[in-house]
Each structure stands twice: as structure tokens, then as C-alpha cells.
Amino acid sequence: MLWKDRRESANVEDQRGFGGGGGGGLAIGGGLGTVVLIVLALLFGVDPRQLLSGSPDTSTQQPPASAPDSANEDDTTKFSRVVLADTEDVWTDQFQKMGKRYTPPTMVLFTDSVQTACGGASSAVGPFYCPGDQKVYLDQSFFGELHRRFGAPGDFAQAYVIAHEVGHHVQDELGITRQVDAQRRRLSESQANALSVRVELQADFFAGVWAHYEQSKGYLEAGDIDEALRAASAIGDDTLQRKAQGRVVPDSFTHGTSEQRVRWFRKGYDTGDVRQGDTFNAPSL
């Protein structure tokens, strides 16, 4: 991805080095955000109580192999700011076409743990969006995990992750998050899981829409889309479950299969048409 010497978003809070603190109960601000944290915890094989309390589960975390490279970290921060800026441009334009006004999210950079309107969270959950404060939370060490643990290297794999979380903010801006949260309360666990899959696949679709316009502006390089597709495939429910437990339990899916995640991202990328991303009324996923 061609990102150097380009506009960087100002909507970034750098909380790295401050820590999120532990203790106290959950400050649940948005419902869906807390569900997303628990889902990620279960997929990553981490005790959700550790993640939501703000206290990292040291039994599942590995210490860094070496001291961080400050120059590389600075590049990663600039890259993240550029990607966020690009999502601002794309979604501001798309909302204008719908006769709406887009309010960008804030991206919070943190290390180890962080406090949010959805409660405290450990970096072990990976990047997430909290609708309670309309912020995307990112511990950039996840990008290393994306490469090492999930076999999805490349800067556009990282861009896909950010664009997916911004996709959840787009859902929030469109009122989808509130509708889903209200509906979820009336569902059984398996039905709620199925609804979560549709939420996540739509966020993948929105990430694909963003990538479509990145391509149209000439920002993508050869292999970028393959990097994003590889990342989407690597974090499918079936792939993660098969690796973690050697078997697949479809009723417990909350994010979609690898094939579904790839297909919906690809649909957004191929069409660039927000109207084609209604995963909630799609006859099949």
C-alpha cells in the first residue's frame, strides 16, 4: 500500500505506556462492544473475565522476543493514522451520497490494557470497536500476531483489520448497532451467534468497500488485496476453531467462516456499493 508522505488522521489518542488499569466491574456502554470482546476472547482461547477486567492473562501472553524498534513503531503509527484518514475520506463521501453526515471514530493506541466505555480490556482480545464511546482500540502488537500466529503478513492485512473495525463504526453511524443490540436481547444463544455473524460479515463488506476506493485512487500495490483476503481467511471461525480444538462447531460461530469472510470482503471490494452489503436480509451468507 502506498501510504508514506500522505495525510494522517488527527483523530487518534495515544495511550501507550499509560496502561488501562485493572480492578472494578464492567462499565458497559454499548452492549455489542462487550459481546465483541467476549467473542474475541473465546476465539483466542483466553478467559473472558481476564480480558474484560483489564488485567492481562499472563499465562497466555508471550513476552516480546526483543526490545521494540522505535523507528519501526513510529512507521506503524504513521501507517495506522494514514489508514484511518483514508477511511474518513471514503466514508465521508459515501455518507454524503446517502444524504447523511459521517462522524469519524477516534482510534486509541494502547499497550497491554485499556479502559473503555464497554469496560476494561486486555490487548489479548485484539483490535476492537466500542460503540459506547465510538472508538476503535488498537494495540499495534497485534499486527505482529497477525503475521506470526495467523500467517497473514503485509501492510494491507493490517489495513484490513483497521478498516474492519471502522466498519463497525459505520454500522453504529447508520443505526445498525442499536437495532442489533435490541434484537439480540430477544434471541437464544445460537440465534444471537448467528446474528453476530451477520454483523461481522457486514463489517468485512464495508472494509472491502473501503479497499475498492483505495484501489480507485491508485493507493494499492500488487498483492495488497491478496494480503487482506489471506487475513480474512485466517480469522474465520472454522479455521480458528479447527486450530484451537481440532473440530468445528457451527452453532458457536460468531464471525463467519473463512470462506464467508473472504467472500463478503471481496463483494465490497468488487462492487464498491454500500447498498449491496445488507447481510441481515441476505437469503444465504
| pLDDT on residue 32 | 37
pLDDT band at 272 (very low <50, low <70, confident <90, very high): very high
Q: Which residue has the cell 497491554?
A: 112
Cβ density class 79-98: b for 16+ within 10 Å, e for less: bbbbbbbbbbbbbeebbeee
DSSP collapsed to 3 states, 108-177: EECCCEEEECCEEEEHHHCCEEECCCCEEEECCHHHHHHHHCCCCCCHHHHHHHHHHHHHHHHHHHCCHH
Q: How many domains does the chain have?
A: 1
| pLDDT on residue 18 | 74
| pLDDT on residue 284 | 86
| pLDDT on residue 20 | 54
Say if residue 34's pLDDT is above 60.
Answer: no
106 part of a folded domain:
yes
| pLDDT on residue 17 | 80
Does residue 83 or residue 33 have the better pLDDT? 83
238 part of a folded domain:
yes
Instruction: Confirm whether pTM is higher than 0.85.
Output: no
281 part of a folded domain:
no
Residues 6+ apart with CB under 8 A from 38: 48, 51, 52
Tell me what percent of the residues of the chain surpass a pLDDT of 90.
76
Say if residue 29's pLDDT is above 70.
Answer: no
4 part of a folded domain:
no
Return the number of other C-beta atoms located less than 10 Å from residue 27's C-beta.
14
Does residue 97 or residue 22 have the better pLDDT? 97
99 part of a folded domain:
yes
6 part of a folded domain:
no
168 part of a folded domain:
yes
Domain residue limits at 117 = 12-55+77-276
Say if residue 162's pLDDT is above 80.
Answer: yes
18 part of a folded domain:
yes
Query: Which tens digit of pLDDT belongs to each residue from 170-222?
Result: 999 999 999 999 999 999 999 999 999 999 999 999 999 999 999 999 999 99
Return the number of other C-beta atoms located less than 10 Å from residue 23's C-beta.
9
* Alpha-carbon distance values, 274 to 179, 269, 277 (Å): 18, 10, 6
- Mean pLDDT estimate for the chain: 85
